[in-house]
Amino acid sequence: MLLMPEKGKQDKSGDAKQGERIAKVIARAGLGSRREAEAWIAAGRVAVNGQAIASPALNVGPRDRITVDGTPLPGRGRTRLFLYHKPRGLVTTHADPQGRDTLFRALPKHMPRVISVGRLDINTEGLLLLTNDGGLARVLELPATGWLRTYRVRALGRVTQEALDGLKTGVSIAGVRYGPIEATLDREQGANVWLTFAIKEGKNREVRKVLEHLGLKVNRLIRLSYGPFELGELKEGTVEEVETPELRKTLGPTIAKTANADFEGPLEDEPASARRPDPRWKPAAKEDGRSSSEARRSHAPQDDGAKGERERATKKKFNARKRRADRSGGPRPSRPRS
Rounded-to-integer distance, Cα 316 and Cα 318, Å: 5
Which CATH superfamily groups domain 11-72?
RNA-binding S4 domain (3.10.290.10)
Spans in the chain with pLDDT lower than 70:
1-18, 30, 75, 268-338
How wide is the angle at C-alpha 192 spanned by C-alphas 169 and 198, nearest 5°? 30
Task: Name 24's Cβ contacts closer than 8 Å, sequence gap at least 6.
Answer: 34, 134, 135, 138
pLDDT at site 171 = 94
Catalytic member of 121, 165, 186, 262: 121
Domain ranges of the chain: 11-72, 148-226
pLDDT at site 28 = 73
Is-catalytic flag, 121?
A: yes
How wide is the angle at C-alpha 271 spanned by C-alphas 55 and 142, nearest 5°? 50
pLDDT at site 279 = 58
Helix (H, G, I), strand (E, B) or coil at 164: helix
Alpha carbon dihedral 192, 194, 199, 204, in 10-degree steps, equals 30
Helices (H), 197-298: 206-213, 244-259, 292-298
pTM: 0.66
Terminal C-alpha separation, the chain:
62
181 by Cβ neighbours in 10 Å (0-12 / 13-18 / 19+) ranks as buried
Helix (H, G, I), strand (E, B) or coil at 140: helix
pLDDT at site 301 = 39
Task: Name 176's Cβ contacts closer than 8 Å, sequence gap at least 6.
Answer: 203, 209
Rounded-to-integer distance, Cα 128 and Cα 150, Å: 12
pLDDT at site 308 = 53
Q: Name the nearest CA neighbour of 69 among 44, 37, 97, 51.
A: 44
Matching CATH number, 148-226, of 3.30.420.10, 1.10.10.60, 3.30.70.1560, 3.40.1050.10: 3.30.70.1560
pLDDT at site 70 = 87
Task: Report which DSSP code applies to 205.
Answer: T
Rg (CA), the chain: 23
Q: Name the nearest CA neighbour of 137 among 273, 46, 255, 252.
A: 255
Residues 91-116 have pLDDT tens digits of 988 778 888 988 888 998 888 888 89
